[in-house]
């Protein structure tokens, strides 16, 4: 098989997307309320304009008596997503080798070139190595738990059964539970374990994966298992199936905020990689701890990272945000600058309502994320669609009204840059007006080591 030269992947985007939009002036503050009439002054080199004005997003939150399936006008043809169609799997199959192989090679080349990402220079290879060391350290929890979750259902610390709850404390929940009281308690637990915002939904099984894929990073044919619901007492795994008890109907969904100082040093760098790694590690720890607490109260709980189900529609149903053009959920508290995890359970809970704060309308006229995307993976179309572009292949799941993302293009840019990109999250106006700016106009990577930050990169404010 001919060896793939990963540095040629997306070559066009390297030269046409080197200049990115920059905010003129500093947008600060962590308040969720923004006055009307204020605007962001944007330099838009891609649209051929010197600058244009964009009104800041507003945050009047309205609760909805509906669901994600209805909000995004899902068609009957919408199928449960199959994990064998994830971009990580498909790109590895197309390369004939795990996508991590060329990615790590380009990562090492960056260090030797005194870069922390493609075209992001630092003073020496030693300095570049320090930034990469930070990213590797940030990934420790994630790697020890179950890396990112994909394909790790019911494995290791993501086990669907108790890890260390004594047998005498398992099962036999209170005979007359009060859903409102249980909801209050599990939300408080989740926050103390590491969540930044928590919601509850009675989940739609359409969001549960049809199949998991156990060899997600392997170029060989997919090793899959069906995810099914059956009348059984405990979650069970067979050679062919992962079986969830029918009585499990609720999802506790939560978000964790990624460190803002790191996502600003992009578009794709060791720092943006570190931000994602810290988010995944925290969300995994929180989901596992919360699941164990629920089991100790006598109920069944399935901790989930990126596994078992789609995270975004569950989070939307749990009242945590709306789907943005960039393919991420946008929250009114932290923009799209979050990672999402969930715990599925049979504990009787009170569901939250989905919310609307104008994201769809704002994204229709904004499009900053699409214009800045180095890989052209985000749709520039004004209108949403039911079908993904043909180039997306099976990684797109048709049937919902949204802006589809080309996951394979995005991942190929990661490989080319030797890092993990989060440019769309960084430049989203919802990120700027909620989490502010740690650098101002001086975004030299060396400044990162001098910032005054709190734990996990949070700003020293009360959100």
DSSP per position, 12-41: HHHHHSSS---BSS------S---TT-EEE
pTM score: 0.88
Give which of 443, 452, 451, 450 is closest to 121, Cα–Cα: 443
Q: Which two tokens stand for residue 275?
A: 């931000």
- The SS3 of residue 100 is helix
Residue 463 lies in a domain: no
Rounded average pLDDT over 51-56? 66
Residue 462 lies in a domain: no
pLDDT at 5 over 90: no
- pLDDT of 2: 33
Helix (H) or strand (E) holding 356: strand 355-356
Give which of 118, 132, 127 is closest to 414, Cα–Cα: 118
| Half-sphere exposure at residue 229, Cβ-oriented, CA atoms within 13 angstroms | 13
Query: Is residue 179 within 8 Å of 348, Cβ to Cβ?
Result: yes
Strand bridging mode 355-356 / 268-269: unpaired
Q: Which two tokens stand for residue 51?
A: 């600058």
Q: Determine how many CB atoms are found less than 10 A away from the CB of residue 37.
A: 7
- pLDDT of 458: 64
DSSP string covering 40-108, please? EEE--TTTT-S-EEEEPP----EE-SS-HHHHTT--TT----BGGGSHHHHHHHHHTS-THHHHHHHHH
Residue 339 lies in a domain: yes
pLDDT at 425 over 50: yes
Domains contained in the chain, number: 1
Give which of 109, 244, 89 is closest to 151, Cα–Cα: 89
Name the least confident of 3-12, 144-153, 247-256, 421-430. 3-12
| pLDDT one-digit tens code per residue, 184-236 | 999 999 999 999 999 999 999 999 999 999 999 999 999 999 999 999 999 99
- Looking at every residue in the chain, the average pLDDT score rounds to 88
Domain that holds residue 403: 6-457
pLDDT at 283 over 60: yes
| Residue carrying structure tokens 């009047």 | 60
- pLDDT of 174: 93
Residue 1 lies in a domain: no
| Half-sphere exposure at residue 232, Cβ-oriented, CA atoms within 13 angstroms | 11
| Half-sphere exposure at residue 69, Cβ-oriented, CA atoms within 13 angstroms | 12
> Cis bond leading into 373, ω under 30°?
no
Give which of 378, 249, 219 is closest to 314, Cα–Cα: 249
- Which 8-state DSSP code applies to residue 7? G
| pLDDT one-digit tens code per residue, 99-115 | 999 999 999 999 999 99
Residue 110 lies in a domain: yes
Query: Is residue 301 within 8 Å of 295, Cβ to Cβ?
Result: yes
| Half-sphere exposure at residue 245, Cβ-oriented, CA atoms within 13 angstroms | 17
Query: Is residue 370 within 8 Å of 380, Cβ to Cβ?
Result: yes
Q: Using a pLDDT cut of 70, give the percent of the chain over it.
A: 87
Rounded-to-integer distance, Cα 336 and Cα 330, Å: 4
Rounded-to-integer distance, Cα 330 and Cα 433, Å: 12
pLDDT at 25 over 60: no
Give which of 278, 271, 131 is closest to 196, Cα–Cα: 278
| pLDDT one-digit tens code per residue, 368-387 | 999 999 999 999 999 999 99
């Amino acid at each position: 098989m001919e060896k793939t030269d990963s540095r040629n992947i997306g070559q066009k985007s390297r030269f046409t997307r080197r200049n990115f939009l920059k905010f003129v002036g500093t947008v600060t503050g962590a308040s969720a309320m923004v006055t009307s009439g204020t605007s962001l002054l944007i330099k838009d080199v891609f649209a051929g304009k010197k600058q244009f004005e964009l009104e800041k997003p507003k945050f009047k939150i309205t609760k909805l008596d509906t669901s994600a399936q209805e909000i995004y006008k899902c068609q009957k043809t919408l199928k449960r997503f199959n994990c064998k169609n994830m971009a990580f799997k498909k790109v590895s199959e197309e390369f004939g080798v795990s996508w991590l192989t060329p990615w790590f090679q380009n990562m090492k080349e960056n260090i030797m070139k005194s870069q922390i990402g493609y075209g992001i220079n630092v003073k020496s290879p030693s300095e570049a190595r320090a930034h990469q060391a930070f990213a590797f350290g940030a990934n420790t929890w994630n790697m020890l738990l179950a890396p990112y979750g994909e394909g790790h259902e019911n494995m290791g610390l993501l086990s669907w059964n108790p890890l260390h709850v004594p047998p005498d404390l398992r099962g036999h929940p209170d005979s007359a539970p009060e859903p409102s009281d249980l909801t209050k308690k599990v939300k408080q637990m989740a926050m103390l374990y590491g969540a930044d915002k928590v919601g509850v939904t009675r989940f739609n099984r359409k969001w549960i994966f049809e199949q998991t894929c156990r060899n997600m990073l392997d170029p060989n044919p997919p090793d899959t298992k069906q995810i099914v619901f059956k009348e059984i007492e405990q979650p069970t795994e067979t050679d062919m199936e992962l079986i969830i008890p029918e009585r499990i109907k609720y999802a506790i969904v939560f978000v964790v905020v990624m460190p803002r100082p790191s996502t600003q040093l992009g578009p794709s760098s060791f720092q943006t990689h570190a931000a994602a790694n810290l988010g995944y590690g925290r969300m995994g720890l929180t989901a596992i701890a919360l699941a164990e607490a629920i089991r100790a109260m006598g109920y069944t709980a399935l901790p989930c990272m990126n596994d078992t189900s789609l995270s975004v529609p569950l989070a939307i149903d749990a009242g945590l945000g709306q789907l943005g053009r960039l393919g991420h959920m946008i929250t009114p508290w932290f923009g799209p600058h979050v990672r999402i995890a969930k715990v599925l359970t049979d504990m009787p809970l009170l569901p939250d309502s989905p919310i609307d704060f104008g994201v769809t309308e704002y994204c229709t006229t904004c499009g900053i994320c699409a214009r800045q995307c180095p890989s052209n993976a985000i749709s520039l179309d004004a209108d949403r669609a039911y079908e993904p572009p043909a180039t997306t292949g099976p990684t797109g799941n048709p049937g919902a009204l949204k802006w589809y993302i080309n996951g394979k293009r995005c991942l190929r840019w990661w490989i080319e840059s030797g890092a993990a990109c989060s440019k769309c999250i960084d430049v989203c106006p919802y990120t700027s007006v909620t989490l502010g700016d740690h650098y101002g106009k001086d975004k030299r990577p060396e400044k990162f080591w001098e910032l005054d930050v709190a734990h996990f990169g949070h700003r020293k404010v009360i959100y």
